[in-house]
A and B are shown apart, each in its own frame.
Chain A
Amino acid sequence: MKIKDAEIIALMQDPRTLEKGIRVLMDAYQSRLYWHIRRIIVDADLAQDTLQETFIKAYQNFHQFKNDSQLYTWLYRIATNEALQQINKLKKMQKTDEDPEYYMQNLVADNTEGDAEEIQIFLQKAIQSLPEKQKLVFMMRYYDDLPYEEISQIVDMSVGTLKTNYHYAKQKIEEYIKENYER
């Protein structure tokens, strides 16, 4: 991945190969970023728009990318910010209507594959019941196996805070599943 990153960075730093660079970048990162965004947003159309916006922002602001951080960390940061913005918009729209958490849990049920295991659906619902920070840390650690140091750069939290948040998130999810899931 690092060789690929070096290639992408080199292509994107040269205006003549910038377009080729963004193509290689999209091929390399679209799937990881999509699922990261999708787990936050859940809604398919909104996740697609957010992924698109993430790539456009990456293209427009590539000059701000500093080589001292990992490319994926920088991309995750953009994607996370974009996704949170969308979620906040959604929450504002939902304000007068139903409880946002309840709304998200319904969204989970509507968006899952027909053959998804029940325990997996409960896990997603449990994730949606978490506070924002815990949710982000949990998802990046549990699904993407990102090191705390990298997550720290993505969400601007100290490693210690992140560890505590992950611990609480895991505990809450297990409690949620024990309470709600019956075999």
Chain B
Amino acid sequence: MENFDLGNLERKNIYKVPENLFESIQENVLGGVKDFDLEKLERKNIYKVPENMFETIQDRVLSGVQSFDLDKLERKNIYKIPEGVFETVQENVLNEIKAEKKAPIFKLNWGYAIAASVALIFGVTFVYNSNSPVNGDSVNRYANNREVPKKESQIAYETLASDLTSVENANQTVESQMNIKPVVSQVVNNNSENQNKKSVKAANDVHMNEYLETLTNSEIAELANNSSQDVYLDLYN
């Protein structure tokens, strides 16, 4: 190699060159853009597909909605039910029924209702009068009315009147008895010349007391029960 002369060395490329390199470069540069042919493009899907997608779809279709059978569905009540609903309903129904049972007492015709209203006014007047000095007489008159025979219509009217005002009267008689006695005894003591007249009053008073004593407990209870009538009559007035 002493005689090596670079000048004499053959100038050559020793690297491998891909076949048709220049053709393909030229083609790429010139034809790639110009001659793009959609028809020659490979048809391919480039989107990702979830795994087992088709199996899932098939499962859904077959086992799901398509096989829904109303007859196979369990028949159940799905609504929330309030606590104690049946107890409340039963209680309300029974209360309503009991109220209705009492109702016929109040199903008076209007004639009776009007008569009862009048009687009630009498009753109220009676209460006011009971505070006046003649109150003893009122009680006596009441007691007398019960004893003296009357026409049937009068008795009917007065019975109704007395029934409807019985509670006021009952309360009142207790009260008035307490009041009357001193009044009467006072009168007896102070007005000796009128003693006869007053003693008649006292006698009437005794009648009243006797009358009240003749009432049994059950009769008094009945009178007390009738007191509820006044409430309803007030409503209709």
Contacts and interface: CB of A to CB of B under 8 A. Distances in A.
Interface residues of A, number: 40
Contact of A22 (B77, B86, B97): B97
B82 interface: yes
A55 B80 contact: no
B70 A55 contact: no
B64 interface: yes
A44 B86 contact: no
Contact of A111 (B64, B74, B80, B85): B80
B77 A38 contact: yes
B105 to A, nearest CB: 16
A170 B65 contact: no
Nearest to B86: A30
Interface in B67-92: 68, 70, 73-82, 85-86, 88-90, 92
Interface in A123-142: 123-124, 142
Given A112-B78, A177-B65, A23 B89 contact: no
Given A34-B85, A38-B79, A116-B78, A56 B64 contact: no
A183 interface: yes
B contact patch SS: helix
A169 B73 CA distance: 16
A113 B77 CA distance: 9
> What 8 A-B pairs have minimum CB-CB distances, sorted nearest first?
A116-B78, A55-B93, A183-B64, A52-B89, A120-B78, A111-B79, A30-B86, A112-B78
Interface of A: 19, 22-23, 26, 30-31, 34-35, 38-39, 42, 44-45, 48, 51-52, 55-56, 59-60, 111-113, 116-117, 119-121, 123-124, 142-143, 170, 173-174, 177-178, 181-183
Given A23-B94, A44-B81, 11 more contacts: A26-B86, A35-B77, A38-B79, A44-B79, A52-B92, A111-B80, A113-B80, A142-B70, A173-B70, A181-B68, A183-B64
